[in-house]
Amino acid sequence: MSSSILDHPHPASLTPFLHCSSPSLQSLLHHSDYLPIRTYSRIPKPFSGEDGYFANTLATPLTIPHVLTLRRRPHLLSALPAAPPVWPAPTGSPTPVHTPDLILLLDLATPGVSGHPSTAHGGVIATAMDEAMSYAVALYAPETGPRLEGEEEDVPPTPRGMLYTAQLDIRYKSPVVAPGYLIVQAKVLARVGRKFWVRAQAFQPEDGKAHMRLTTDAMAFWVQTAPSL
């Protein structure tokens, strides 16, 4: 059995979100195509300091108290094209991300994530998009990295190996309300060797409505470096 945290369901991660009244969010929580897994970057790693921003700074009652990662079941992942996709024009209308590989749900609190009043800071949104994309790429580059030296035994091996964001292009479409939920959907579009192209979109549930409002659209280029680098 794989030792990757990406392959082990973690139903307890659903608990903080089960009380949400949004029909669209509830449908994601119970979608049969997705499994809840632990969010590796939310596990504190005090010895190395890795993921300190997401596991500590943004993991307080006034910032992002709860995060849930839903991954697409392994047998449903698509075969990746071996040619780079077309980079969307800055003024173009966003195309939907169908059947995302990974969904990241965030419980945004206030005032810790606020830029403008009751509005999440764009940097926090960019962080959420980057986190979701990293796990989507890891699903297609499953080489589990080593256990971090000096960390406790309950810190699993890293699932992301030597993956790095080389370019991240974000288009903010509408404000993200805080407090509130943010849903980031990420999908890997292509892979050429150690290079990956990824799309992500962020949404917020609308009270009493079945649909969600698009807040952010992003495209990224990721690289997986060789172990010797």
Domains along the sequence of the chain with CATH? 5-85+93-224 (3.10.129.10)
Percentage of residues in the chain having pLDDT higher than 90: 69
What is the arithmetic mean of pLDDT over 2-6?
70
Q: What is the pLDDT of residue 214?
A: 96
Coil, helix or strand for 30? coil
Beta bridge partners of 66: 107
pTM of the predicted structure, to 2 decimals: 0.90
173 has a pLDDT exceeding 90: yes
**Residue 190 pLDDT level (bands cut at 50, 70, 90):** very high
What is the arithmetic mean of pLDDT over 194-212?
90
Q: What number of other Cβ atoms are within 10 A of residue 13's Cβ?
A: 20
Percentage of residues in the chain having pLDDT higher than 70: 88
Q: What is the pLDDT of residue 139?
A: 93
Q: Is residue 173 a contact partner of residue 96, using CB atoms and an 8 Å limit?
A: no
Q: What is the pLDDT of residue 90?
A: 75
More confident residue, 89 or 57: 57
**Is there a cis peptide before residue 146, judged by omega within 30 degrees of 0?**
no
pLDDT digits (tens, 9 = 90+) for 8-19: 999 999 999 999
Radius of gyration of the chain (CA): 17
Q: What is the pLDDT of residue 162?
A: 78
What is the arithmetic mean of pLDDT over 178-184?
97
21 has a pLDDT exceeding 90: no
Q: Which residues contact 20 (CB under 8 A, 6 or more apart)?
A: 26, 29, 181, 205
Q: What is the pLDDT of residue 95?
A: 87
229 has a pLDDT exceeding 50: no
pLDDT digits (tens, 9 = 90+) for 115-168: 999 999 999 999 999 999 999 999 998 654 544 454 455 655 666 667 899 999
Coil, helix or strand for 4? coil
Task: Report the alpha-carbon distance of residue 19 to residue 26 in Å, rounded.
Answer: 9
Q: What is the pLDDT of residue 147?
A: 47
226 has a pLDDT exceeding 80: no
What is the arithmetic mean of pLDDT over 74-101?
89
Q: What is the pLDDT of residue 143?
A: 59
Residue 189's H or E segment, with its range, is strand 180-192
Q: What is the pLDDT of residue 2?
A: 45
